[in-house]
Amino acid sequence: MLAVPCGPARADEIPSDWVVRILKAYNQRSYQGIFVYLKNGSLETMQVIHSSAQGGRTRLVSLNGEVTEIHRSGDQMTRYLPQRGLLIEGLRWSNPFFATVPEDVSRVAAHYTFKVGADDRVAGRECQRVEVQPRDTLRYGYRLCVDRETALILDAQLIGERGQVRQEVMFTRLQVEDRLDPALLEPGMNVAALKRHTVKTHLRGAPGSDARTWDVVEPPAGYRLVFGGAHSLPDGGEQEHLIYSDGLSAISVFIDNELVGGKPIMGQTSRGSMNAYGDVREGHQVLVLGEVPYPALRAMAESLRRRP
């Protein structure tokens, strides 16, 4: 059980072992439930079935709108669209259930505070409100309700600059299982009747790649380079891709290696909780993207330089 910490001074902040438990909880239990979230102003409802066995397997089933199932096993993801007669495979999924917690929880703590809030109930389960507050304006915060028994996040809100809720995911039902029937993880349709499509991956790169030709020389505080790679574009060009992360938030910086010949994307734009900022540097289209405030995206773009 999560016990509210007590003691002098910063008693409202949670200890780092809580943070570790919360971040690892997704993969350490088997469970099934229903969650809701907002998409383009509408409420979407999905069923989730997760097994912690075999490295973690997850099945998501849409409960409204187009019939969709999304299956994850390790970092491989498959999408089933029976109404379109499609099965799309070859998708990769960053393992959100991270077997390894951010290697340096203290790095996260340098830029966020984790504060205990009130007791609450979500999906009929007792949970603890936790505020993840950014220490500056270069990242968003979260309001969570953490299940007291399992440390699973039952309700998560992404909080914007003015305290507005930019996105929310909330369980309306959750059942924790000791053992999950593997049959529950199988697709609920005749897969043989679907046309199989494979996503072509055009990405080359690796964490810490040194083959990059651009750098963000002064990234915003706390963000460090975690990936450098390149995408092959359909028109034959290449697009360099850098990812910077502070442990909770990730920012992508894209630089099209071809000089801009058409109409570049300029300025600020957003899609749901994702923000993007377009610019042109030395004649190249630059696009910076992430679930972070615009000042962080602009700082990335303005600090982008060619490597010597």
Strand partners, 232: 238
User: Which residue of 20, 36, 184, 194 would you call a contact of another protein, by CB under 8 A?
Assistant: 36
Give the single-character DSSP code of 120: E
CB of 137 to another protein, least distance (A): 16
The 46-85 contact track toward another protein, x by CB under 8 A, reads x-x---------x-x-xxxx----x-x--x-x-x------
Q: How many Å apart are CA 85 and CA 94, to the nearest integer?
A: 26
Structure tokens at 104: 């340096």
Q: What is the Cα 48 distance to its own chain's centre?
A: 17
The 122-161 contact track toward another protein, x by CB under 8 A, reads ----------x---------x-x--------x--xxx---
Computed over its alpha carbons, how large is the radius of gyration of the chain?
21
The residues, ordered by sequence, that sit 6+ positions from 1 with a Cβ below 8 Å of its Cβ are 148, 149
- Which CB, 146 or 148, lies closer to another protein? 146
User: Which residue of 16, 20, 37, 113 would you call a contact of another protein, by CB under 8 A?
Assistant: 37
Subset of 172-231 contacting another protein (CB under 8 A): 172, 195-201, 203, 205-207, 226-227, 229, 231
Q: What is the Cα 149 distance to its own chain's centre?
A: 24
CB of 1 to another protein, least distance (A): 21
CB of 132 to another protein, least distance (A): 7
- Which CB, 148 or 241, lies closer to another protein? 241
CB of 128 to another protein, least distance (A): 15
164 is a site residue for another protein (CB under 8 A): yes
Half-sphere exposure of 110 (CA within 13 A, CB side): 10
Amino acid code (one letter) for 207: P
**Cβ-based burial of 19 (10 A; exposed 0-12, middle 13-18, buried ≥19):** buried
- Which CB, 91 or 189, lies closer to another protein? 91
